[in-house]
Amino acid sequence: MEYDLVVIGGGPAGMLGAATAARRGLKVVLLEKNDRLGKKLAITGGGRCNFTNDSDGDAFSGNIVTNGKFLYSALNAFAGRHLVQLFKTLGLQARVEAGGRVFPASGQSGDVLKALQKHLQDSGVEVRYNSGVRQLLSRDGQAAGALLSDNSTVKSRSVLVATGGASYQQTGSSGDGYRFARRLGHTIVGPRPALVPLVVRDGWVRELQGLALDHVMLRVAAGGRAKAEQSGELLFTHFGLSGPAVLNLSSFLTKHFSFPLDLIIDLKPGWPGERLNKLLQDHLQQNPARSLKNTLSVILPQRLAPVIPVLAGVDGGRQGAQVTRGEREELVSALKNLAVTVTGTRSLNEAIVTGGGVSVKEINPSTLESKIIRGLYFAGEVIDVDALTGGFNLQIAFSTGYLSGSSAGAGR
């Protein structure tokens, strides 16, 4: 039997691509190598699935790290509001949280998966589990189907590769799509880890493991013309730094910088140096007999307070009244310009997304069809696109899934 479209990969991109094409009357089969769909989707957003972001247009694009322009058509064709509407028709209500992050109202990623499975079923997609694809089939520059790991073949007039990236490989995304695409003549950029924790040399950072700071500013000390800064939450870990601000910054670091590099942490971004100095002076004057480190714990988390004097080269045991103006300046400098040396990142497998992928130069942005092989389409993380945290990566997967599913098989 010949299908109109074979979709490889049952993640968000593949599921929406398959359902969209089937709704247009195409005969579609979805091949998933796991025994279930959306294994990665299930663990997104800490199990709550931050499936999109309610920002639109430029605000959304501002959160795309790589190839935002390429995604213009896909994001226009199927924006966050379309996804929320689709989910509503499938019985899934959405809830918007801080930063425009959109979650299912139930707080369960499983409910997003159920909605997508219902969409697949309602659309008449045939889903095959435990069906790992080994190779793509093509004939005379035209996609022709897929060869499975058990050596069986599935013939089709077009193929959508939605195999994801190469991170969190236990979920099934093990970079197969890169191999498929390369074999058919496509260029693969990278891949590199993105949204990935940073490994830091400084011992004091590791000693603070488990401590989270709500609002800090991070910036790269010196990077020639390249600039990178992010604000938000930071988490100290046993190897270095994580948390949303660090993950977001990492995507720029792995793209534009090389390691080791010096990172500057501003612990009090809302306080200009002079005001912070005055605040510190007031606290020290009000508590002249109290030790410096105890006074600092009024404006800093308990565990961080004794570390700052050490880094500033000031005796934390000194009484408030003994702290000199020069020492206060050193303390303010430590609070505003805390330097750490980043030696690298955690592995690609530990990255929330994979940066790099199938080069966008070889994909038509209006259809997501390959410019090399007719009838071959790409959607989701397998493409050289990535974005910051906040629901943007899943929206990209859904948007590119939708656009490829809308274009596949057209004109044949």
Nearest approach in angstroms of CB 97 to ligand FAD is 11
**Of 32, 71, 155, whose CA–CA distance to 368 is shortest?**
71
Q: Which of 5, 7, 9, 80 binds ligand FAD (CB under 6 A)?
A: 9
Q: List b or e across 46-79, with b for residues whose CB sees 16 or more CB atoms inside 10 angstroms.
A: eebbbbbbbbeeeebbebbbbbbebbebbbebbb
CB of 309 to ligand FAD, least distance (A): 37
Query: Is position 172 an interface residue for ligand FAD (rule: CB under 6 A)?
Result: yes
Span from 8-16, 135-143, 208-216, 306-314 in contact with ligand FAD (CB under 6 A)? 8-16
The beta-strand segments (E) located in 88-177 are 94-96, 101-104, 126-128, 133-139, 142-148, 153-161
CA separation for the pair 237, 240 (Å, rounded)? 5
Give the number of C-alpha atoms closer than 13 A to the C-alpha of residue 44, restricted to the C-beta side: 28
* Cα 354 to Cα 194: distance, rounded to the nearest angstrom: 6
Q: Is 8 in the site for ligand FAD (CB under 6 A)?
A: yes
Site string for ligand FAD, 120-159 (x = CB under 6 A): ------------xx--------------------------
125: helix, strand or coil: coil
Query: What track of x and - describes contact with ligand FAD for positions 11 through 50 (by CB under 6 A)?
Result: xxxx----------------xxxx----xxx-xxx---xx
The one among 3, 4, 7, 10 contacting ligand FAD by CB under 6 A: 10
The CB-of-383 to ligand FAD minimum distance in angstroms stands at: 8
What is the C-alpha separation between 411 and 39, in angstroms, rounded? 34
Q: Is 295 in the site for ligand FAD (CB under 6 A)?
A: no
CA separation, residue 325 to residues 314, 315, 331 (Å): 12, 14, 10
117 lines the binding site for ligand FAD (CB under 6 A)? no
Cα 11 to Cα 110: distance, rounded to the nearest angstrom: 13
264 binds ligand FAD (CB under 6 A): no
Residues that bind ligand FAD (CB under 6 A): 8-14, 31-34, 39-41, 43-45, 49-50, 132-133, 162-164, 167-168, 172-173, 176, 352-353, 380-381, 391-394, 397
